[in-house]
């Protein structure tokens, strides 16, 4: 038995084609994304974004944005 090993780029292209055909582009993208490492430091970014705000201020901003976008409470 003769086994032909394909280059990884060819295997990836074939897998992407099959996933797109069977699942659609959106679900394929969601599936692939779960294997991609995250970037940045969420904790540091959150601390910088929320620096100096109280819990009540944060909740107030969330409620205000929900009112203006029409999202449920």
Which 3-state string (H, E, C) describes the chain?
CCCCCCCHHHHHHHHHHHHHHHHCHHHHHHHHHCCCCCCCCHHHHHHHHCCCCCHHHHHHHHHHHHHHHCCCC
Residue 42 has what pLDDT?
A: 87
Higher pLDDT, 16 or 71: 16
pLDDT at 29 over 60: yes
pLDDT at 4 over 70: yes
Specify the range with the lowest mean pLDDT, choosing from 53-57, 61-65, 69-73.
Answer: 69-73
Model-level pTM?
A: 0.46
| pLDDT per position as a tens digit, 17-26 | 999 999 999 9
């Amino acid at each position: 038995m003769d086994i032909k090993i394909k280059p990884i780029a060819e295997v990836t292209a074939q897998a992407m084609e099959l996933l797109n055909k069977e699942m659609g582009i959106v679900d394929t993208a969601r599936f692939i994304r779960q294997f991609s490492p995250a970037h940045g430091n969420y904790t540091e970014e959150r601390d910088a974004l929320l620096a100096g705000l109280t819990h009540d201020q944060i909740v107030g901003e969330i409620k205000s944005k929900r009112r203006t976008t029409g999202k449920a409470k």
